[in-house]
Structure 1
Amino acid sequence: MFDVEEFWKFDLRVGKVLAAERVSGSKKLIKLDVDFGSERRTIVTGIADQVDPEILVGKKMIFVLNLKPKRMMGVESQGMLLLAEEDGGRIHLIEVPDEVPVGTKVW
């Protein structure tokens, strides 16, 4: 179990996907260009085996921004997309309503 203070350390923000493309040489990775209002970041997510990149463009979703950058297949990811995953591995996107501004803090 974690103390709630541990949870508050994560910087969860609403971001809007501006562009999405498969990472060359990978079956699962998608490179996202995400707008957070005051900045844009590259986020790499491993969902290409279940989601076509094209459907991600224009969606507002929740991202973790204060993780250490991680390089995957030559692309640096500057955060993490939050998803819902069933016990069997099927994933679901968690979309944020259009009226929520990009960059909004999630808690």
Structure 2
Amino acid sequence: MELYDVSEFWKFDLRVGLVRKAEKLRRTRKLIKLDVDFGSELRTIITGIADQYDPEELEGKKFIFLLNLKPRELSGVKSEGMLLVAENEDGRVYLIPVPDEVLPGTRVW
């Protein structure tokens, strides 16, 4: 495992986001389009977990997102961040829930 100075970590903008809407992207097996509320802004984020989760399981829930990535187009839709999840050795993905009292846009560190 490569080690980094803690100053590298602070470069990442990790925020709590509330999934307002989630829908599976057509003609894809794994992609879900999320409309995510970060308090002061809404963003579209594409995540590749549709083979393990239905979009309905994500709506109305809060998760942690990485926001300061360069936008990337996936299946014709611009993604403006990344959903953080846990993944085991077998490729099983686990969502990391955020308590209800934490407001959208709250910084994570």
TM-score class, shorter: over 0.9
**Which residue of structure 2 aligns with residue 42 of structure 1?**
44
Task: Show structure 1 runs of 5+ residues with no match.
Answer: none
Paired-residue identity, %: 67
* Aligned-partner Cα distance in 1 for 2:77–2:4: 32
The correspondence of residues 21-60 of structure 1 with structure 2, limited to 5 A, is 21-60=23-62
* Aligned-partner Cα distance in 1 for 2:79–2:65: 12
Task: Show structure 2 runs of 5+ residues with no match.
Answer: none
Per the alignment, in what secondary structure is the counterpart of residue 68 of structure 1?
coil
Residue 99 of structure 1 aligns to which amino acid in structure 2?
E
Q: Which runs of 4+ in 1 moved over 2 A?
A: none
- Cα RMSD for the two superposed structures: 0.4
Q: Deviations over 1:51-80 (max 9, x none)?
A: 000110000000000000000000000000
The correspondence of residues 1-107 of structure 1 with structure 2, limited to 5 A, is 1-107=3-109
Q: CA deviation at 1:3?
A: 1.1
